[in-house]
Every structure is written in C-alpha cells, then in structure tokens.
Amino acid sequence: MKREALLAAAAEMFNERGFTATSLDDVAASLNITKPVIYRYVGNKDQVLLECVNRGFDQFEAAAEATWSVKGSGIDRLRHFLHRYAKISSHGFGMCAHRTGDHELSDESRAEFRARKRGIDREIRRMIEQGTIDGSIHTPDIRMTTFAIAGALNWIARWYTPEGPLSADEVATRIVDTLVWGLVPRAVDKGRR
C-alpha cells in the first residue's frame, strides 16, 4: 500500500510539474516521508517514473483486453476502447504515460516504454482492421488512421484539466465521436469519383 501511495503521489507531481522539475525530495515531502523510503520501496527517480508509466500502460492494456469481449461490430469495439483510453489519459498514471517523453528515461527504460506504446498502437490497429473486415469501418490506410487516433487521444493528457468546463467523460465522448465519425462508411458521391 505504501508503494502504491508513493507511486500515485509521484505520478500526480510528474503530471503537474513535469518529470525534470520534480525531485524525489518533493515526492517524499508530499507524503511526509524521507527520500530513503522511496529508494527502499521503488528505487531511483528513473525507476519511479518507469513504474508510474507502466501502471498507465497496464490500464490501457486492461481496457483493450476487456474491449475484445464487447458485443457488436468493429466500430462498436473501437468506440468502446477509445472512450476508455481517453478517460484513462485524463488523470493519474494514464496521464503520466502520455506526458512522459521517452527522452526522460534511461536507455533501458526507454526501450520498455517504446515497446509498451507499440503494443497499445497494435491493439488500436487490430480493432480498426476488424472493423474494415466486417464493413463497419472505412479507411484507406489503417496504419495512418491508427497514428492519427492515438495522437489525438494522447494529447488529452497535455491539455485536459479536471477544473475545466467538461468532465473527463464528456471530453472522451466528444473526442471519440469526432474521431469515429470519420471512419463510418458512407455512400460514395459518384460525381466526385
């Protein structure tokens, strides 16, 4: 429990101040503990950041796994996952995963970080592919569509604030509706072909 509280506090500070501007002394002071306690439970600053980021990726992966049991078409599953993805991106560990630049991590941690990001992108791509197979999604380039969607959702972590006019759920709904609408198959205007 102490380790989880420590990581949650660190993620919150990284989200508010940025990784570089946050020291382990700051994290320790926020919890009224000493820096050696952080070293005992997690390790150095790089290890703390990697643990926070991994917790975020764990949430994205769990959402993707749960999405595969959702009934409906490919676009229904994609919409479900993207909504959960957007909400996870709006706070805590999910926000930390998106606000962290891979340049802030050690070489070893950077490789793990990039691999986890690629895994989430593969899940989005699989959902889009499924939708193109069942006809519920139309896109000329699955790879570029995946990048565009992930990029749009990842930026929520950069600009969203709970004190703003919209809740995380409202932001997720509006962004996902906008993104998914562009994938819905339409009758082709023969005059423009």
* CA distance linking residue 171 with residue 158, whole number of Å: 13
Give the pLDDT of residue 189.
46
| 57 touches 116 (CB < 8 A) | yes
pTM of this prediction?
Answer: 0.87
| 174 touches 166 (CB < 8 A) | yes
Other Cβ atoms within 10 Å of 9 Cβ, number: 20
* CA distance linking residue 94 with residue 172, whole number of Å: 14
List, for residues 116-136, the tens digit of each pLDDT value. 999 999 999 999 999 999 999
Give the pLDDT of residue 28.
87
What is the residue extent of each domain of the chain?
A: 45-186
Domain 45-186 has CATH 1.10.357.10: yes
**pLDDT tier for residue 68 given thresholds of 50, 70 and 90:** very high
* CA distance linking residue 24 with residue 68, whole number of Å: 39
Give the pLDDT of residue 36.
86
- Report CA-CA distances (Å) from 29 to 11, 13, 44: 14, 11, 16
List, for residues 150-179, the tens digit of each pLDDT value. 999 999 998 988 899 999 999 999 999 999
List, for residues 29-67, the tens digit of each pLDDT value. 888 888 888 888 888 888 999 999 999 999 999 999 999
Give the pLDDT of residue 102.
86
Collapsing DSSP to helix, strand or coil, 52 comes out as helix
Burial class (CB in 10 A: 0-12, 13-18, 19+), 1: exposed
In the numeric block, the tokens 């993620």 are attached to 11
Question: Which tokens belong to 152?
Answer: 């749009």
